[in-house]
Structure 1
Amino acid sequence: MTNTIQQSPLVAARVLVGVYAALSIATVAAIAVLQAVAPDLAGPAAWIRGTIVAATSILMLVFANQAVRGHRRALLRWRIVAAVMIVAIAVIVSIPGLIPLWMRLEQVLCGVLLIGVAALVFRRTHP
């Protein structure tokens, strides 16, 4: 069932989610390359975190596409996943030594993108 939802902030947020998804997938590819050439930069924590982030980014993109088409429940799911991922990223980057520095910086960038997404999808202009 579709409903009328103000589109422009959601479309902008969907673009940010697309960038987040592309960055997340590129990170998994980087982990694979680093595993071969510099294994100390691509340990198990990087693999686990990278895979989870890439999977949730794809899920978030599905929710974003549905929300832009007017599905209210998808907007709710999108809001929940964005909020959870922002908190998870904040926790992960705050734990010293858990993930390599390069991935910590990538996660900070992901967090910044998701804060932008949250600012757009949590606007009161959506019914």
Structure 2
Amino acid sequence: MTTTRSTDATGTASPTTAGAARLHHPATRRAFRTVKILAAAYGALSAAVLLTVTVLASTGHTVTSFLWGRSGGILASAAVVYWMTVLASRGTRWAYLRVRILSVVMPLAIVTVDMIPGVCPLWFALAQATCAVPLAAAAFLSNGPGLRAAFPKP
């Protein structure tokens, strides 16, 4: 069965037949729900790291601009990933493709940068790596055959 595509009022192409049917399949809905939960967990853990940095700074500990920027940036990326996951679950192909890419690239980037000697304290590297775990798990689901089938190539 081929998939035809239509354009909605916003100019977004959306699946109209086979892809749409797969998008509303219970297994696809369940997979998207799990990816949303994992993205939310990524955000919650990122917020906890930023809160830790804030508490350390307010209690007189040395906190570098790298720690502030990195923890704030990771929290912002969590919000973007969650937003794109919501859009993807509603059938937006471009958002789905970005979730697929970010869920693979972000955990690798987080761990790689934190492994550079002297960039950040060990506790911070471990906390950031912990943040990356739910997003890495989301990568397996978002790149799996179930969700890919809901977004066939045009």
* TM-score where L is the length of structure 1: 0.89
Distance 2:32 2:39 in 1: 10
| Contact 2:36/2:85 (8 A) holds in 1 | yes
Q: CA deviation at 1:96?
A: 2.1
Count, aligned residues: 126
Which residue is equivalent to 1:26?
48
Higher RCO structure (Cα 8 Å, ≥6 apart): 1
State the superposition RMSD in angstroms. 1.6
Answer yes or no: is 1:11 the counterpart of 2:33: yes
Deviations 1:59-100 (A, max 9, x none): 001011111222222111111222221221121221122112
Q: Is the 8 A contact 1:28 1:47 kept in 2?
A: yes
How far the C-alpha of 1:118 sits from its partner, in A, is 0.2
Q: Which residue of 2 aligns with 1:104?
A: 125
Q: State the percentage of identical aligned residues.
A: 29
Matches within 5 A, 1:22-61: 22-40=44-62, 42-61=63-82
Alpha-carbon distance in structure 2 between the residues aligned to 1:100 and 1:38: 16
More helix by share: 1
Q: Could you tell me which amino acid in structure 1 is paired with residue 146 of structure 2?
A: T
Match of 2:112? 91
CA distance in 1, matches of 2:58, 2:100: 37
The normalised TM-score by structure 2 is: 0.74
